[in-house]
Amino acid sequence: MIDDEAFIAEIERCFDVSSVSVSTKTGERIMSKILMEKSMGGLRPASEDAHRVLANIAGGTKVLVDVRDPRRRSNQQNAYWHAILDLIWENHESVQRYYGQFDKFKGGLLVRLGYRDDFQMKDGSVASIPRSVSFASMEQAEFTKLVDDTLEFAQNDLGFDRETLSAEAKSRVSVSTREKTEGEGVF
* pLDDT tens for the chain, residues 1 to 187: 445 555 555 554 554 444 334 444 555 555 667 777 778 888 888 778 778 878 888 888 777 777 766 666 778 889 999 999 999 999 999 999 999 999 999 999 999 999 999 999 999 999 999 999 988 888 888 999 999 999 999 999 999 999 999 999 999 988 655 444 443 333 3
Q: Is residue 156 part of a domain?
A: yes
12/45 same-domain check: yes
What is the number of domains present in the chain? 2
Q: Is residue 129 part of a domain?
A: yes
Q: Is residue 61 part of a domain?
A: no
Q: What is the CA angle 49-62-31, rounded to 5?
A: 45
pTM, rounded to two decimals? 0.60
Q: Is 12 helix (H, G, I), strand (E, B) or coil?
A: helix
51/85 same-domain check: no
Residue 160: is it exposed, middle or buried by C-beta count within 10 angstroms (0-12/13-18/19+)? Answer: buried
End-to-end CA distance of the chain: 32
Q: Is residue 82 part of a domain?
A: yes
161/130 same-domain check: yes
110/177 same-domain check: yes
Nearest in space to 7 (alpha carbons), one of 36, 29, 35: 29
120/51 same-domain check: no
43/90 same-domain check: no
Backbone angles phi, psi at 104, to 5 degrees: -70, -40
For helices 140-156 and 75-91, the axis angle rounded to 10 degrees is 20
Domain that holds residue 142: 75-182
29/85 same-domain check: no
